[in-house]
């Protein structure tokens, strides 16, 4: 199958009509109209097979996840998704695989009325680069640099599920190369969180003008909250006994393993944000947006992220997030 036939498969399955797309896939560049008074938020993420997702991951889920991780970055900025481009490197021209990949991408794109407006298709080891574009009113973006001493630290959803899902896969529940056996109920739920993260776009929008700083958790809570601390010139204390935990994860392992996954596991794609105490309705408003948030600690003077248990004793964490090339 020819490159142009593959592009046609992608274009047909990802069709989303938007008035601001003056020219989409098919010419040398897309032509896009910006709404007045808004700033363009742009973010790129690459997923490499075997690094960012297990090689056994279904094409549909790879399509979903490649867009989800990018939408998560827009969510963390408080931006409204609008457009995306897709650079696809494929080992072979497998139209069925590309069709399923496009269906997964389109399932999420449709939810946010996001238009795929262009891309590139090349041959090589499987790798997907998505660039997303979103709008935010001028001056309203959520930054990493606004946390202040005394602010609370919060996270949306639950932590550690995706990291636990990866463990389920590694521990023989479908570890055979390229295939997956039927996992237990808990593992199935956790693997779904790994394969199909939910970008917290509505929550990011609800936090505009209310959170003092925000980041999405891709590399683990400690690593990513550490970025807020560094950018804001502050420190943070986390109460490990307050970390929000799904029922699937709760029954799966002992507390120490669970906390290690929640603090340093990565791939959560939840939002971590800071906010002052004055905004009492904030948590209720977030809960009504479809995904609540939990207070997990506080911003303090100093630098770096420290962890303590319910009685205030320091907790030692051995792994602090996923890093490439180390
Ligand atoms: P050019 O050679 O001018 O770069 P291409 O032949 O690479 O153009 O692409 C033709 C059209 O298809 C362009 O509009 C491009 O943006 C789009 N396109 C190519 N690959 C993809 C893809 N994977 N997803 C979406 N659009 C794509
Ligand atoms: Mg090209």
Our mutation pick for probing the ligand 1 site, out of 25, 46, 104, counting the most ligand atoms within 8 A of Cβ, is 25
Give the residues surrounding ligand 1 with Cβ less than 6 Å away.
7, 10, 25-28, 86, 88, 116, 118-121
Rounded distance from Cα 120 to ligand 2 centre (Å): 5
308 vs 315: CA distance, rounded Å? 5
Among 99, 72, 74, residue whose Cα is nearest residue 88: 99
Q: What is the pLDDT of residues 8-24, one digit of tens each?
A: 999 999 989 999 999 99
Nearest to 200 by CA among 261, 273, 297: 273
Q: What is the mean pLDDT of the chain?
A: 93
- Report percent pLDDT > 90 for the chain: 85
From the CA of 130, how far away is ligand 2's center (Å)? 15
Does residue 294 carry a pLDDT above 90? yes
Residue of 66, 83, 120 best suited for mutating to test ligand 1, as the one with most atoms within 8 Å of CB: 120
The total number of residues shown for the chain amounts to: 326
Nearest CA to ligand 1 atom 8: 28
Nearest alpha carbon, ligand 1 atom 24: 119
Q: What is the pLDDT of residues 198-224, one digit of tens each?
A: 999 999 999 999 999 999 999 999 999
Closest-lying ligand 1 atom to the alpha carbon of residue 121 = 20
User: Ligand 1: which residue has its CA nearest to atom 27?
Assistant: 119
**Confidence (pLDDT) at 321:** 52
- Residue 88 CA: nearest ligand 1 atom is 23
Ligand 2 centroid from CA 1, angstroms? 17
pLDDT attached to residue 179: 58
Please report which ligand is nearest the Cα atom of 88: 1
Mean pLDDT (whole number) for 76-103: 97
In whole angstroms, give the CA distance from residue 67 to residue 109. Answer: 8
Span from the CA of 8 to the centroid of ligand 1 (angstroms): 10
Q: Is the pLDDT of residue 246 over 90?
A: yes
Per DSSP (E only), the strands in the chain are: 21-23, 31-32, 38-48, 80-90, 115-123, 127-137, 152-156, 213-216, 235-239, 271-275, 293-300, 304-308
Strand partners, 48: 127
Tens digits of per-residue pLDDT, 250-287? Answer: 988 888 899 999 999 999 999 999 999 999 999 999 99
Instruction: For residue 26, give the ligand 1 atom closest to its CA.
Output: 14
Task: Quote the pTM value.
Answer: 0.94
- pLDDT band (50, 70, 90) for residue 316: confident
**Residue with CA nearest ligand 1 atom 10:** 26
Cα(205)–Cα(80) distance, integer angstroms: 7
Region of poorest pLDDT, from 74-83, 209-218, 245-254: 245-254
Lowest-pLDDT range of 180-184, 190-194, 312-316: 180-184
């Amino acid at each position: 199958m020819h490159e142009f036939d593959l592009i046609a498969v992608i274009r047909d399955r990802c069709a989303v009509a938007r008035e601001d797309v003056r020219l989409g896939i098919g010419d040398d560049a897309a032509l896009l109209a910006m709404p007045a008074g808004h700033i363009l938020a742009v973010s790129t993420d690459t997923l490499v097979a075997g690094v960012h997702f297990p090689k056994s991951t279904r094409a549909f889920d790879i399509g979903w996840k490649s867009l989800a991780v990018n939408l998560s970055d827009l969510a963390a900025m408080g931006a409204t998704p609008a457009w995306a481009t897709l650079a696809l490197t494929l080992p072979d021209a497998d139209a069925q695989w590309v069709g399923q990949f496009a269906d997964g991408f389109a399932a999420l794109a449709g939810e946010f009325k996001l238009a795929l407006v262009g891309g590139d298709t090349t041959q090589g080891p499987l790798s997907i680069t998505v660039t997303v574009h979103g709008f935010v009113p001028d001056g309203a973006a959520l930054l990493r640099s606004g946390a202040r001493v005394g602010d609370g630290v919060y996270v949306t959803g639950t932590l550690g599920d995706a990291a636990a899902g990866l463990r389920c896969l590694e521990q023989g529940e479908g570890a055979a190369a390229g295939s997956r056996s039927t996992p237990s109920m808990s593992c199935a739920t956790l693997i779904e969180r790994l394969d199909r993260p939910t970008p917290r776009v509505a929550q990011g929008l609800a936090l505009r003008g209310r959170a003092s700083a925000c980041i999405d958790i891709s590399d683990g809570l400690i690593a990513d909250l550490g970025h807020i601390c560094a950018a804001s010139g502050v420190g943070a204390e986390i109460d490990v006994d307050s970390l929000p935990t799904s029922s699937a994860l709760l029954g799966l392992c002992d507390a120490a393993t669970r906390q290690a996954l929640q603090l340093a596991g990565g791939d959560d794609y939840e939002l971590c944000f800071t906010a002052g105490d004055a905004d009492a309705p904030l948590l209720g408003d977030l809960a009504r947006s479809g995904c609540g948030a939990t207070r997990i600690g506080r911003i303090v003077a100093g630098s770096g992220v420290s962890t303590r248990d319910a009685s205030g004793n320091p907790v030692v964490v051995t792994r602090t997030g996923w890093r490439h090339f180390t």
